[in-house]
Structure 1
Amino acid sequence: MRNGFRWRHAAVALAVVAGVAGCQDGDGGTKAPGASATAQPSAQRTQSPEEAAQAVRAAYTKAAAAKSAKVEMRLLVADDRAPGGSTFAGVQAWGPSAADLKVYDSSYLAEIPGAPVETQVRSVGGATYVDLGTGLSAQTGGKRWLKVEAATAGGDELSLQLTGGLAAVNMDLPKELGLLAASPAVRHIGPGTRGYVEGAQGYEGELSGGKLMQVWIGADGYPLKTAVHTDTPGGGAKTSVSTTYSDFGAKAAFRTPPAEDTIAFPDLLKRLVRG
């Protein structure tokens, strides 16, 4: 019984790992109101809300045109059911949405019996795939890749945790920048804020869904770092996703794993229940 519980908890951990790369919601082509590639206002003083929105709109325009970037992302989750953290590094795209990321320094992977210390996550065609390696073949029927659909839903607690995990960490950079630029509360927080990037100006604002977004924009107008903090309404999970960006326009081979080597998340749950 204890083993079964451990595996159900491990399945939640896999789902959270998958969620960070997963199937970003929204359209990367969504335009911020009045978007234009204008230069940032002077960095020597506190900028007005209008100037702050202008700087964020300019960053939106550059990111949307680039369509992709190299990223290093740190996810932290404060939740009684599935707390923990993971680091991701690789290429993320938003035109269309895709990702090819290495996962490491992950408390979630560490909790899964037989899981690799480091692994690969791919987001392709509206689904996310986690490379389980060979240590979990007894639980997966010999399949190496776990497939997690963005639309996974259900009434049981595990499915609710999975869906919540995906919703909490999804990140479409141009869309989020567009929403921040349109926020009536967008403000300039200067270069000296916690988490700042040298030579960059910081901006922040509240978004819908209990999100606080911060972005640091370089002198060239590109976003260099974002931090998104989310509080689930009703006092649920709190998540923080901090992402640094470089090499805008970077390319990656976003390949879907072979179907014969893939197990869907619901099928994995069925096998764990039978086991």
Structure 2
Amino acid sequence: MGSSAGKRVAFALAAVVVVAGVSGCEDGDGGTKPAGASAEPTTQSREEAVKAVRAAYTKTARAKSAKVEMRVVVSGDQGGSSTFTGVQGWSPSVADLKVTDSTYLEGIPGAPVETRMLTAGGATYMDVGSEQAAQTGGKRWMKVEAEGAAGGDELLTQLTAGLSSVNQDPAQELGLLAGSSTVKHLGPAKGADVTGQRYEGELSGGKHVEVWIGKDGYPVRMIVETTAGGSSTKLTTNYRDYGAKAAVQAPPADETFGFMELLKRIGQGLGRG
């Protein structure tokens, strides 16, 4: 396997974890509004919009968890997409998610079509499958720690470019949106499965946030768009069953391996080739 091919495998293995787990992911177009947003009528005053978003923030912060379905789309040189379904918690950050429909997994020879991702204790773990585990001494959980992106490795730096400013905590996003000078009401939510109101606003770091708030005052959908470092990410998250149990245990240490260990093993394989 050539050097570039080896890096693509390493990148694919880590991208799905970093994009949706440690770094989180949300929609992004560099702070510009989605097409057609300006045509939506504003039926509530800014004060009313702030009140609605702040109330949703309070409810979400108290719930601390929910069942989620996330669709991540990343554009740029190393773009791709993945879908995540399961349970997510915040304060502290935990997640137990099934990964499906992933272009990153498709790029890995022998990788499972579906896999599992866990977030606990400030780290994210991805089950790489039995075939990949044969290359890592039988260990099948790849671990990426939150501070890993700051380690200076060129590949990790490229991988996380533009994603470090994206926060996975929906309550925090709502709190920031409520405090934004650009928050406004867009009108009724338009979706067969959603009844409620839509709000949007710009946040620092070139981030655009749109939230759909249901009649019960909880967010039912959040779309966040961010562009930085030549990479654009978009995360659309649907929420339900607030307060769902989110007790997540990290895999045993002897069943995990680090991203840098993966790179080292790939490098050794290239040397033998």
Q: Tell me the TM-score range normalised by the shorter chain.
A: 0.7 to 0.9
Amino acid across the alignment from 1:84: G
Runs of 4 or more, structure 1, over 6 Å off, are: none
Change (3 A) 1:177 1:196: farther
Number of the residue aligned with 1:13? 12
Once the two structures are superposed, residues 153-186 of structure 1 have per-residue CA deviations (whole angstroms, 9 ceiling, x without a partner) of 3444312123337526541100000000000000
Q: How large is the RMSD of aligned CA atoms in angstroms?
A: 2.0
Q: Alpha-carbon deviation of 1:76?
A: 0.1
Of the candidates 230, 249, 253, which is equivalent to residue 247 of structure 2? 253
Alignment of 1:142-157 (within 5 A): 142-152=138-148, 153-157=150-154
Q: Alpha-carbon deviation of 1:15?
A: 1.8
- C-alpha separation in 1, matches of 2:153 and 2:218: 42
Structure 1, gaps ≥5 residues long: 26-43
- C-alpha separation in 1, matches of 2:87 and 2:163: 19
Given the two structures, how large is their TM-score scaled by the length of structure 2? 0.87
1:104 and 2:103 correspond: no
Of the candidates 47, 64, 68, which is equivalent to residue 67 of structure 1? 64
Q: Alpha-carbon deviation of 1:224?
A: 0.3
Change (3 A) 1:15 1:170: farther
**8 Å Cα contact 2:183/2:202 also seen in 1:** yes
Change (3 A) 1:157 1:24: closer
Number of the residue aligned with 2:266? 272
Q: Could you say which structure has the greater relative contact order, defined with CA pairs below 8 angstroms and 6 or more residues apart? A: 2
Given the two structures, how large is their TM-score scaled by the length of structure 1? 0.86
- C-alpha separation in 1, matches of 2:203 and 2:53: 14
Once the two structures are superposed, residues 120-171 of structure 1 have per-residue CA deviations (whole angstroms, 9 ceiling, x without a partner) of 0000000000001101123212111000011113444312123337526541
- C-alpha separation in 2, matches of 1:159 and 1:112: 18
Deviates more, 1:147-156 or 1:71-80: 147-156
- C-alpha separation in 2, matches of 1:250 and 1:219: 19
Once the two structures are superposed, residues 187-213 of structure 1 have per-residue CA deviations (whole angstroms, 9 ceiling, x without a partner) of 1011256x7963110000011111100
Overall identity of the aligned pairs, in %: 58
SS of equivalent residue, structure 1 residue 184: coil
- C-alpha separation in 2, matches of 1:196 and 1:173: 23
The alignment of Structure 1 onto Structure 2 pairs a total of residues equal to 252
Change (3 A) 1:158 1:10: same
Change (3 A) 1:116 1:166: farther
Number of the residue aligned with 1:35? none
Structure 2, gaps ≥5 residues long: 25-40
